[in-house]
């Protein structure tokens, strides 16, 4: 590579080496150490000790399970609802499309922390949602501690936030996919007597299938990072019901509030999370994202 | 013709109703920010006696209803957020453009490098933050704005790079080739010819970086928990966890924090989806 081209990528390369490669190497080193700053003076080597801890830690397994459970609710709902809204909002009869799209940008553009704050207000025991329920004769629900009886259901409350914030993203992407389907194809079908609905169902939607696939995968990958709304709404509780893997890592490695608080163990959990994310990313890159074509095609 | 007319009215009404219902939680926050203390726990959407007091306390005096010391005014955290976000917007949009140019025109690093940068966009930050805390402590940047500016690029640089790849690949290369024949180096071609042509794309990339920096919560939570560098997001989290039901000031803070990014997001709405899907959906 020529020197002047090297200069162009050197700052980025250096920065990403510090911010991505160094931490990864550090994690792989740390996962064989044990270090609880509250007790130990310095890290010490424990070999596979953290792996044993992990194998016998039901909280960690629960955290992984609940992370995927949350994802299994949010992603399908976001994608389904997003497609539905995209179909509605691309209707040729709709007036004010541009304004609607601007407004629908609001949920996804506000910081997730503020989404959490916003819904905390809504779910508050004496908040608007319960007042509304009361007015139609349903008693107030403790949404953030134990709605519908079982504390586990708080996970659904969390899911609502993520769904609310990111459904518009799916909607906007699918809508722009729908609109990129050449108009003459639709017109031809229309002249042949196909109804608006049939055109959508049998011509347009199949053509945006790749868009839907990519969006679903991107949402899936992003869902492994949900953190802010948990911090704001439940802090992993009640108990550890909403402690997903990222939040468990936070508790084990940063606040040191988990029973198994240990930085070496947190490093192992981080590696596990990274491996899971990497598998998903590689799958996405191989299946749908043809990087070669996107850049040089 | 008459049927089309009816369809227009019905679908417009239905769609707008959906939009308003969808945004009701946010509308509720805006409305609460104008409510006086007695109305915070009422079920009415609109404030009966609208007041600016919440904003005044959040922005200017701090405290709650005259009682100082409950919380400080937001100004200092607003400054922190602004400084970090603007620096990150400037730095990572330029670095992203440089990298994108090297990738698009010279295939620098090949497919692997491009894929790697793309994959960094998708990794969960919580996994790699402990080593970065250790690093910033070691070089004295823990709890400083400088530390945040050092670490945020892990989030924004992949985004700006990929956005600039999309922006640069459509610029015709003829002028660049002519300039190279005239003896300009790649670097000179980049900032004399490519950058001016890609100015719009560069501005959009900068806004993307700004949006992501503004919303960032986890990195500053772990890297800058102290007053000196704490950004708005972390302040909002502390504030709401400590004074849980002061809905008026909390809502006002929420609106103040949301408004700039809503405006910016709408300003670049043509490119939002392209940026977020890394160029896959245009």
Q: What is the pLDDT of residue B190?
A: 86
Q: What is the pLDDT of residue A193?
A: 80
Which chain B residues have a beta carbon less than 8 Å from that of A30?
130-131
| CA–CA separation, A196 and A107 (whole Å) | 30
Q: Read off the pLDDT band of B173 (50, 70, 90).
A: confident
Residue reference for tokens 């940026």: B275
Q: Read off the pLDDT band of A77 (50, 70, 90).
A: very high
Of A214-223, B37-46, B247-256, which gets the smallest average pLDDT? Answer: B37-46
Q: What is the pLDDT of residue A187?
A: 79
Query: Which residues touch B82 (CB under 8 Å, ≥6 apart)?
Result: none
The pLDDT tens digits of the residues spanning B196-236 come to 889 999 999 999 999 999 999 999 999 998 888 999 999 99
Contact map slice: B 155-194 vs A, CB within 8 A = 157, 161, 165, 169, 185-187, 190
- B254:A288 CB<8 A: no
- A295:B165 CB<8 A: yes
A181 in contact with chain B, both atoms CB, cutoff 8 A: no
Is B192 a domain residue? yes
Is B102 a domain residue? yes
Q: Which residue, among B127, B245, B246, would best test binding to A if mutated, counting the most A CBs under 10 Å from its CB?
A: B127
A160 in contact with chain B, both atoms CB, cutoff 8 A: no
Bridge partners, A33 (sequence order):
A45
- B277:A215 CB<8 A: yes
**Conformational region of residue A211, where left means phi above 0, alpha means psi within -120 to 50, and beta covers everything else:** alpha
Bridge partners, A118 (sequence order):
none
- B221:A231 CB<8 A: yes
Residue reference for tokens 């993203």: A169
The pLDDT tens digits of the residues spanning B84-122 come to 999 999 999 999 999 999 999 888 888 899 999 989 988
A197 in contact with chain B, both atoms CB, cutoff 8 A: no
Contact map slice: A 224-243 vs B, CB within 8 A = 224-225, 227-228, 231-232
Contact in structure between B82 and B261 (CB atoms under 8 Å): no
Mean pLDDT of A203-210: 85
Residue reference for tokens 């919380």: B71
Nearest to B18 by CA among A92, A101, A200: A101
CA distances from A274 to A183, A195, A225, B243 (A): 43, 47, 11, 35
Q: Read off the pLDDT band of B181 (50, 70, 90).
A: confident
| CA–CA separation, B282 and B155 (whole Å) | 21
| CA–CA separation, B101 and B99 (whole Å) | 5
Give how far A70 is from chain B: nearest CA, Å: 16
B124 in contact with chain A, both atoms CB, cutoff 8 A: yes
Q: Is the pLDDT of residue B51 over 90?
A: no
CB atoms within 10 A of CB B166: 22
Q: Read off the pLDDT band of A48 (50, 70, 90).
A: very high
DSSP string, A98-145: HHHHHHHHHHHHS-HHHHHHHHHHHHSTTSHHHHHHHHTTPPP--TTT
Is B105 a domain residue? yes
At residue A28's C-alpha, the angle toward residues A24 and A29, to 5°, is 115
- B15:A91 CB<8 A: yes
| CA–CA separation, B25 and B41 (whole Å) | 15
The pLDDT tens digits of the residues spanning B258-282 come to 999 999 999 999 899 888 888 888 7
Q: What is the pLDDT of residue A11?
A: 93
Count of domains observed in chain B: 1
Compare B114 and B3 and report the one with higher pLDDT: B114
Nearest to B11 by CA among A147, A93, A26: A93
Interface predicted TM-score (ipTM): 0.92
**In chain A, pLDDT over 90 holds for what percent of residues?**
56
Q: Is the pLDDT of residue A291 over 60?
A: yes
Q: What is the pLDDT of residue A149?
A: 64
Q: Read off the pLDDT band of B64 (50, 70, 90).
A: low
In the three-class reduction of DSSP (H, G, I as helix; E, B as strand; rest coil), residue A33 is classed as: strand
The pLDDT tens digits of the residues spanning B158-167 come to 999 999 999 9
**H or E element: which one contains B36?**
none
Which chain A residues have a beta carbon less than 8 Å from that of B152?
none
Domain that holds residue B200: 75-276
Q: Any idea what the CATH number is for the domain that residue B107 is in?
A: 1.10.3720.10
- Domains of chain A in start order, with CATH, are 12-296 (1.10.3720.10)
Q: What is the pLDDT of residue B232?
A: 94
B120 in contact with chain A, both atoms CB, cutoff 8 A: yes
Give how far A150 is from chain B: nearest CA, Å: 24
Which chain B residues have a beta carbon less than 8 Å from that of A249?
126-127
Is B252 a domain residue? yes
Query: Which residues touch A19 (CB under 8 Å, ≥6 apart)?
Result: B128, B132, B150, B151, B153, B154
Contact in structure between A43 and A276 (CB atoms under 8 Å): no
CB atoms within 10 A of CB B5: 10
At residue B40's C-alpha, the angle toward residues A125 and B74, to 5°, is 110
Bridge partners, A45 (sequence order):
A33
Q: Is the pLDDT of residue A45 over 90?
A: yes
Q: What is the pLDDT of residue B153?
A: 96
Q: What is the pLDDT of residue B108?
A: 85
Q: What is the pLDDT of residue B151?
A: 95
Whole-number mean pLDDT of chain B? 89
The pLDDT tens digits of the residues spanning A134-148 come to 888 888 777 777 655
Whole-number mean pLDDT of chain A? 89
The pLDDT tens digits of the residues spanning A170-206 come to 999 999 998 888 878 877 887 888 787 788 888 888 8
Of B12, B42, B127, the CB nearest to A274: B127
A90: tokens are 């691309």
Say whether the peptide bond before residue B71 is cis (omega within 30 degrees of 0).
Answer: no
Q: What is the pLDDT of residue B68?
A: 60
Q: Read off the pLDDT band of A1 (50, 70, 90).
A: low
Q: Is the pLDDT of residue A50 over 90?
A: yes
Query: Which residues touch A84 (CB under 8 Å, ≥6 apart)?
Result: none
Q: Is the pLDDT of residue B4 over 90?
A: no
A286 in contact with chain B, both atoms CB, cutoff 8 A: no
The pLDDT tens digits of the residues spanning A234-279 come to 888 788 899 999 999 999 999 988 889 999 999 999 999 999 999 9
B114 in contact with chain A, both atoms CB, cutoff 8 A: yes
Is B170 a domain residue? yes
Q: What is the pLDDT of residue B13?
A: 93
Is B262 a domain residue? yes
């Amino acid at each position: 590579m020529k020197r002047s081209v090297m200069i162009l990528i050197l700052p980025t390369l250096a920065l990403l080496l510090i911010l991505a490669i160094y931490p990864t190497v550090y994690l792989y080193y740390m996962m064989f150490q044990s270090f609880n700053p509250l007790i130990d003076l310095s890290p010490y080597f424990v070999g596979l000790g953290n792996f044993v801890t992990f194998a016998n830690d039901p909280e960690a397994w629960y955290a992984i399970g609940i992370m995927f459970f949350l994802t299994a609710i949010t992603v399908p709902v976001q994608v389904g609802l997003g497609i539905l809204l995209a179909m509605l909002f691309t209707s040729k009869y709709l007036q004010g499309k541009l304004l609607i799209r601007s407004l629908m940008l609001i949920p996804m553009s506000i910081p997730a922390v503020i989404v959490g704050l916003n819904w905390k207000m809504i779910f508050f025991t004496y908040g608007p949602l319960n007042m509304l329920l009361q007015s139609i004769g349903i008693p107030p629900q403790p949404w953030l501690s134990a709605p519908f009886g079982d504390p586990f259901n708080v996970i659904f409350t969390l899911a609502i936030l993520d769904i609310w914030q990111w459904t518009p993203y799916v909607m906007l992407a699918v809508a722009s996919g729908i609109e990129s389907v050449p108009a003459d194809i639709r017109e031809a079908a229309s002249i042949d007597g196909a109804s608006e609905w049939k055109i959508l169902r049998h011509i347009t939607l199949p053509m945006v299938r790749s868009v839907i696939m990519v969006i679903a995968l991107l949402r899936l990958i992003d869902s492994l990072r949900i953190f802010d709304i948990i911090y704001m709404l439940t802090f992993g509780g009640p108990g550890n019901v909403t402690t997903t893997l990222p939040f468990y890592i936070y508790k084990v490695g940063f606040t040191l509030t988990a029973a198994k608080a240990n930085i070496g163990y947190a490093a192992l959990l981080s590696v596990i999370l990274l491996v899971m994310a990497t598998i998903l990313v590689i799958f996405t890159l191989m299946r749908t994202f043809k990087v070669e074509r996107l850049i040089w095609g | 013709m008459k049927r089309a007319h009816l369809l227009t009215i019905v679908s417009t009404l239905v769609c707008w109703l959906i939009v308003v219902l969808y945004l009701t939680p946010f509308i509720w926050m805006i409305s609460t920010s104008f409510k006086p203390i007695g109305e915070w726990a009422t079920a009415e959407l609109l404030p009966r006696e609208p007041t600016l007091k919440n904003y005044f306390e959040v922005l200017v005096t701090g405290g709650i209803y005259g009682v100082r010391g409950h919380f400080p005014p937001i100004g200092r955290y607003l400054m922190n957020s602004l400084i970090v976000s603007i620096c990150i917007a400037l730095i990572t949009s330029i670095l992203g453009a440089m990298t994108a140019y090297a990738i698009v025109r010279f295939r620098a690093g090949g497919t692997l490098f491009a894929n790697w940068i793309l994959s960094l966009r998708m990794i969960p930050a919580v996994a790699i933050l402990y080593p970065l805390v250790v690093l910033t402590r070691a070089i004295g940047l823990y709890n400083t704005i400088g530390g945040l500016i050092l670490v945020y690029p892990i989030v924004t640089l992949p985004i700006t790079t990929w956005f600039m790849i999309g922006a640069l690949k459509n610029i015709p290369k003829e002028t660049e080739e002519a300039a190279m024949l005239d003896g300009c180096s790649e670097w000179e071609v980049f900032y004399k010819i490519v950058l001016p042509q890609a100015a719009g794309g560069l501005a959009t990339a900068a806004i993307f970086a700004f949006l992501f920096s503004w919303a960032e919560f986890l990195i500053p939570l772990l890297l800058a928990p102290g007053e000196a560098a704490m950004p708005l997001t972390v302040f909002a989290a502390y504030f709401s966890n400590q004074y849980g039901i002061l809905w008026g000031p909390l809502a006002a803070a929420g609106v103040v924090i949301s408004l700039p990014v809503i405006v910016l997001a709408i300003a670049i709405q043509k490119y939002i989806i392209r940026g977020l899907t890394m160029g896959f959906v245009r």
